[in-house]
Amino acid sequence: MTSLVFAAVDLGASSGRVIAGVVNDGTTRLHTVHRFRNEAVVQGGHLRWAFTALFEEVLTGLRQLASRYPDVVSIGIDTWGVDYGLLDDDGRLLAEPISYRDARTGSALTQLHGEVGGPEAMYAVNGLQPLRFNTIYQLCAERSSPEYPTAKRAVLLPDLLVYWLTGELGSELTIASTTGLVDPRTRRWSPAARAAIDLPDDFLPPLRHAGQVVGPLRPEIVRRTGLPSSTVVTTVGSHDTASAVVGLPATAPRFGFVSCGTWSLAGLELDEPVVTPEALQAGLSNESGVDDRVLFLRNLSGLWLLQESQRTWAAAGTPYGLDALLAKAHALPSGGPVVDVDSADFLAPGGMPARIDAAVVAAGYRPLESPAAVTRCILDSLAVAYARSLHRAASLAGSTLDAIHLVGGGSRNTLLCQLTADLAGVPVVAGPVEATALGNVLIQARTHGAATGNLEDVRASIAGSAAARRFQPA
């Protein structure tokens, strides 16, 4: 059988990549053709993504891909959740999208909860962990922005890239489910959530599902990338977490997952949402996965804590490489201080080690003495949070855990994997690092006839070939 080539565009909060997925007789191989840094920057008084520049990087990657693979069947796009761009009547982007880490939503959550009758009422509508940067709170704050009066649509970031590539507007369900504006039971835009923020009817484009052919590339994109005019864009789990869950090499029926990059998303895949007061209490979201699965997960501050600490040390003139830091952290004794990785105190960029130290001291421990101690504290705290969240999610879903699949850049961190296995008392299967791109490619492959079956079949096709390491609990 001949190989089919699919392009996965995967934008994470710390880096983006364009990856070729070569599918041949049921085997999928990934080749990264372009990787670029990503970081939110202050511009016009807000922390924004340089999204127009990121799109240029995507085009650069597609150009490189086209030069290596003459026939690219399709492109799939996924990005981080919740953020959006505002378009005017002519479809022009009004400003670079504001990052979820911007301070503008400071009071929007409390204000909106006050208006709708509390967090319980909001959760009953959208089943989402009330994080102040959920799109619904961002749009609430947006109402007083200078762009809002001329804005006609809010387009989620992967959908914006699809729009720029094809000219077609829509909202893929998995990314839409991070907004707080989707009802997890009906999997449609929630009229109640829209009414809560007085959102005009057509402000959010119509929903579409993963596995739909959106259409061909605009002629200008064909010209600029050198891709064949037959290449189409296909919707995938355009929320990176949803694609990562597709790309788990899972064979056990009751598995938990941790999608571990800048954020850590720890949870389970279910058939039906769990929208109960206990789930709200546990901080668990019901996001949409591919094929109408429910991702019952907790959104935890992930390796952002370490990335930002490294950035702070480097800015102070003492950079520490990741390998050296992790080796020193590994050598420290267990049982050290842990902090609440979910604290809103860690959301904004800047001065992270001092903020972690302050949290440690506030919790009654001695101050952290070295970058290695800060690193160890971050990893211990993350592992505690993973173990707790996964067991809580399993108990609320009436299930148990046979294995935990830890994927994303964090799956390279052996200390974190072992600590998670030890604290959860469940084996951890680590990898693939690029589970998100793999899930992205697999849904394209299935849409174009190069793979078949449900998600279990799709995962079985990668379980044998994916590079995964197993960590047994101590």
Residue 267 contacts ligand LRH per CB under 6 A = no
Bridge partners (DSSP) listed for residue 171 = 207
Residue 81 contacts ligand LRH per CB under 6 A = yes
User: Which of ligand ADP, ligand LRH, none does residue 412 bind (CB under 5 to 8 Å by kind)?
Assistant: ligand ADP
Nearest CB to ligand ADP, comparing residues 280 and 417: 417
Residue 80 contacts ligand LRH per CB under 6 A = yes
> How many CA within 13 A on the CB side of residue 273?
25
Residue 299 contacts ligand LRH per CB under 6 A = yes
Residue 353 contacts ligand LRH per CB under 6 A = no
Nearest CB to ligand LRH, comparing residues 167 and 409: 409
Residues binding ligand LRH: number (CB under 6 A): 15
d(CA 163, CA 37) in angstroms, rounded, equals: 23
Which residues ranging from 42 to 61 are in contact with ligand LRH (CB under 6 A)? Answer: none
Residue 263 contacts ligand LRH per CB under 6 A = yes
Nearest of 429, 428, 422, 336 to residue 375 by alpha carbon: 336
Q: Is 240 a residue of the active site?
A: yes
- CA separation, residue 52 to residues 24, 49, 65, 164, 280 (Å): 34, 8, 20, 10, 36
Which residues ranging from 225 to 244 are in contact with ligand LRH (CB under 6 A)? Answer: 239-241
Written as six digits, the tokens of 338 are: 């842990």
User: Which of ligand ADP, ligand LRH, none does residue 299 bind (CB under 5 to 8 Å by kind)?
Assistant: ligand LRH
Place of tokens 């030890």: 422
Q: Which residues are near ligand ADP by CB under 6 A?
A: 12-15, 261-262, 303, 306-307, 322, 408-410, 412-413
Among 221-229, 257-265, 276-284, 394-402, the segment contacting ligand LRH (CB under 6 A): 257-265
H-type helices in 173-315, by residue range?
Answer: 173-176, 191-196, 219-225, 240-246, 277-281, 304-315
CA distance from start to end of the chain: 45
Nearest CB to ligand LRH, comparing residues 163 and 263: 263
**Cis before 158 (ω within 30):** no
Question: 319-324: which pairs have CB atoms within 8 A and are 24 or more residues apart?
Answer: 320/371
Q: Which of 265, 368, 390, 443 binds ligand LRH (CB under 6 A)?
A: 265
Give the length of the chain: 474
Instruction: Just list the catalytic residues.
Output: 240
The residues of the shown chain that bind ligand LRH, judged by CB under 6 A, are 12-13, 80-82, 100, 178, 239-241, 261-263, 265, 299
